[in-house]
Amino acid sequence: MNKYLAEFLGTFWLVFGGCGSAVLAAAFPELGIGFLGVALAFGLTVLTGAYAFGHISGGHFNPAVSVGLWVGGRFDAKDLVPYIISQVIGGALAAFVLYIIVQGQAGFAGTGGFATNGYGELSPNHFSVASAFLIEVVLTAFFLIVIMGATDRRAPAGFAPIAIGLALTLIHLISIPVTNTSVNPARSTAVALFAETAALSQLWLFWVAPIIGAIIGAVIYKVVGSEKN
């Protein structure tokens, strides 16, 4: 059970740290961290979480990553569903804790968007569903390529969490204006449960697109990274 607990805790940390920075600190009066700060927060949660739990569970913290690593031959199929369940529950608990915290603010007027992902009216810059789908597929594909490359036995040992954390930071810098950045169905699901918008109705995209992207990325790396080539 240790690896499932590690995935639970790692996903809790990712959602609490990443979405927490967006909800609590992104637009804080005068000292808000903005898009750059939120992007760094997501990258840092994965970097630190991977160092803390990577040796226990592999440090996925993301259903799309688990699916991609399974397709890429790096992950046992028997653990796929338990990992995804652990990730979704961990993320949801983190969002619930954030929900309790925000209610303690003076003049609390509701959760609003609550760092959710979306397209159309729920996109930060009102990008279409097609744009949202495409960017989530492409960025998740490259995220898997980075993960598989950085954790390849031929890669420099000990540096994978740094590469993966920086990749997630870059991903957020690119796509926060488009979808508020998902590339992680557990992260999207967690905050959508507590938002006051129609985020739940758009949640399908943030499961389908990242998983498709992860599969594409895994297949690409299996071809490019093959030692037989």
What residues in the chain have per-residue pLDDT under 50? none
pTM given for the model: 0.95
Q: How far apart are CA 90 and CA 96, in angstroms?
A: 10
Query: Could you tell me the residue ranges of all domains in the chain?
Result: 1-223
176-194 confidence digits (pLDDT tens): 999 999 999 999 999 999 9
Between CA 120 and CA 51 the distance in angstroms is 37
Nearest CA to 84 out of 115, 60, 63, 64 is that of 63
**Is domain 1-223 classified as CATH 3.40.190.150?**
no
Q: Which amino acid is at 181?
A: T
CB 69 within 8 A of CB 152: no
Q: In this predicted structure, what is the pLDDT of residue 212?
A: 98
**What pLDDT is attached to residue 229?**
58
**∠ CA 13-153-65, rounded to 5°:** 35
